Amino acid sequence: MDVTGVDSVFLARGPAGPALEAFLDGWLARWPALRVAVDGNPEHGGPGDGSGFLRWDRPGRPALPVAHGAVYVERDAGMDRFWDEHGYAPDAAGEGPFALLYQPPARSALTVRALQDPYQDLPSGGSGYEPYGIELVGAGLTLVTTVTPGPPGDPFTDAVHGELRRALAAQRDPV
């Protein structure tokens, strides 16, 4: 099978595990039979029902590691079979399995390119703004990579990313 899926990377404040649990709790509204496999390749099995997946809405659901982990997400057992045959591809409903991989960055400082003006909340393109490099420095950051069936702009991928942004932005400062 060819390598499938599209990677997108988010940089978030704080450990991602609790925010990803909130994301999955919210995603249950869309996928009531949501199943996850944690920190394991779904092709090689893991905890749970033989394929490595457990229902998220049941007692005994897997706890997500706080700072570093891999979470594989599918709608139901039917999507598990689809995933085995087609990889990260959209099904007839335009949805597909996805993964959430997270870890602290290897560096305490990263140079990023600001495609939008960080000082003003304006749409990009019309203000004469020219993108430039920014040095991002800080402790307690986490890289969150999604692997989705389609690129940003695809309705399903945009739904995953929108919910993920909300969950990551809602994290509270540690006490």
Please list, in sequence order, all residues whose beta carbon lies within 8 angstroms of the beta carbon of residue 3, skipping any fewer than 6 positions away: 87
d(CA 141, CA 20): 15
Q: What is the pLDDT of residues 34-64, one digit of tens each?
A: 999 997 444 434 433 345 899 999 887 888 9
pLDDT at residue 41, as a whole number: 42
Percent of the chain with pLDDT over 70: 87
Whole-number Cα distances in Å, 12 to 17, 28, 42, 131, 163:
11, 23, 26, 21, 14
Please list, in sequence order, all residues whose beta carbon lies within 8 angstroms of the beta carbon of residue 106, skipping any fewer than 6 positions away: none
Element (H, E) at 20: helix 17-27
3 state SS for 81-123: HHHHHHCCCCCCCCCCCEEEEEECCCCCEEEEEECCCCCCCCC
Name the pTM for this structure: 0.86
Question: Reduced to 3 states, what is the DSSP secondary structure of residue 63?
Answer: coil
Whole-number Cα distances in Å, 174 to 18, 23, 65:
12, 19, 16
pLDDT at residue 160, as a whole number: 98
pLDDT tops 60 at residue 99: yes
Q: What is the pLDDT of residues 69-95, one digit of tens each?
A: 999 999 999 999 999 899 999 999 999
Q: Which residues pair with 44 in a beta bridge?
A: none
Q: Which residues pair with 152 in a beta bridge?
A: 154
d(CA 120, CA 170): 21
